[in-house]
Amino acid sequence: MRSLFDPPDRQSVLVRLGQLQSGAPRQWGKMNAAQMLAHCSVAMEMATGETPRKQKLIGNVNTFCDSGPERASAHTHSFLGRLRGEQWGVMMYKHLDHHLRQFGV
């Protein structure tokens, strides 16, 4: 299962974030690219405590990964409750992957 804590998966997400253009057409849903970045940023805030946009989101992905599963497990998800660090990594990957695919990257 892919996880942001796995270096190749992290790199894949970062490359795709770098490829995202503000005018990218969505593949589904109602959000535009800027709204998706804000949406994903809020999710990363739960794990890092920071507030990003595109560059900030890239920074949060790096902070999240560099801090490791131990730090992520210290935070409680507002809906799912307590998660293990590995669960945070899988969930954050799936969430970013979902929305990056939404805009064709």
Q: Write out pLDDT tens, residues 7-63.
A: 999 999 999 999 999 889 999 999 999 889 888 988 887 777 665 577 788 888 999
pLDDT in the model for residue 50: 63
Q: Which sequence spans correspond to the domains of the chain? A: 7-102
Q: pTM for the whole thing?
A: 0.57
- pLDDT given for residue 86 in this prediction: 94
CA distance 51 to 44: 8
Q: Pick left, alpha or beta for residue 16 (phi over 0 → left; psi -120 to 50 → alpha; otherwise beta).
A: alpha
User: Tell me, what's the pLDDT at 79?
Assistant: 78
Q: Return the closest-CA partner of residue 42 out of 84, 95, 1, 4.
A: 95
- Among 104, 91, 86, smallest CA distance to 36 is for 104
Residue 88 has pLDDT above 70, yes or no: yes
